[in-house]
Amino acid sequence: MNGLSQIVDQTEAERLATGFVFTEGPLWHPDGFYYFVDVRASKFYRIRPGGAAELLRENTGEGNGTTFDPQGRLILCEGGNRRLTRWPADGKFASSDVLIDRFEGKRLSRPNDVLCKSDGSVYFTNPGLRVPLADRELDPHVADFEYPNGLAFSPDERTLYVANTRFAMYIHAIELDGAGNVVRRRIFADMSSDEPEGVPDGMKVDVEGRVYCTGPGGTWVFAPSGEKLGIIKTPEVPANLCFGGPDMKTIFFTARTSVYSLRVKVPGLPGHPYRK
C-alpha cells in the first residue's frame, strides 16, 4: 500500500454492486446508505451496506456531483441540463428547484462537482471544454483552470482543493480568509503519471487533513503538506469517492461499472455540513 499502512484497514476493496455504465456522485446519508449516480445512463441510485442498488430517479440530465446543504437537501450537478438542482430532504425525489443555471446572465457550461460549506455557501466546478464552442456562454478559463473537476475543503475550511483533470494533472489549493475570499493560490500536488487510465477527479479529506483524490491508477493519498503517501488500488479505477458508515471509516468508491467499499483507520470528513 506504499506507505498507507497507517491509514488503510483492508488489503482489498469489496465490490457492492456492478452493471452500470459510469458511476459517480457518491454521497453518504446519515440514515445509513449511500447515494450515487450513473452519469452516462442519467440514473440516480441508493444502496445500503449489504443490500442491492435501488433506482430512485431516471432522466437526471447526466447527473454527476452531489452534496447536502445544512438542511439535508440534496444538491445535484446536472451536466447535460447545464444546471444545479436542489431536492427536498424527504428523499422522495418528486420535485426539485433549480438552484442555479446562469451566472451573470450567461448559461452555465457543464456543472461537474459541488461542495457545501458549513455556512451554507455552495461551491461548484463548471468546466466548459466539453460544450461546443458555439454553445459556450462562459469563459472556461476565467479562473485559470484548464478543466476544474473535484472539490474538497480542508478540516478548517480555509483551504479549497480543486482537481484539474485535463492537459495538466494537478490539485490546486486555494487559501481563503474567514469570509471566504481568496487570499492566495498554489499547486498542492502534481498528479502527472504514465498510468493509462484515470485522471484527477473526485476528492475527499479525512479528519487529519489528508487529501484523497481519484486519479491515474487509483486513489492518490496526500499528507496535508502535499507529500504523496501512496495510491489505493481498486479493481476498477474510480472517478470519485466519499467517506461513510456510522464511524466514517468506510470509503465508498464509484469506479466505472461498479461501486466498492474499503475500511480505513482514520475517519473522513463528510464533505458537507449536514448531520442528523
- Please, what are the averages of pLDDT over each run of 10 residues along the chain (276 residues)? 84 97 98 98 97 97 98 98 97 94 95 97 91 81 77 98 92 94 95 95 98 98 97 98 98 98 98 94
Supply the pLDDT for residue 60. Answer: 97
Half-sphere exposure (CA, 13 Å, Cβ side) for 126? 23
Supply the pLDDT for residue 2. Answer: 57
Supply the pLDDT for residue 141. Answer: 52
CA 139 to the chain's CA centroid: 23
Which whole-number Å values give the CA distances from 66 to 78, 116, 123, 135, in the listed order? 10, 10, 11, 25
Question: Cβ atoms within 10 A of the Cβ of 5, count?
Answer: 11
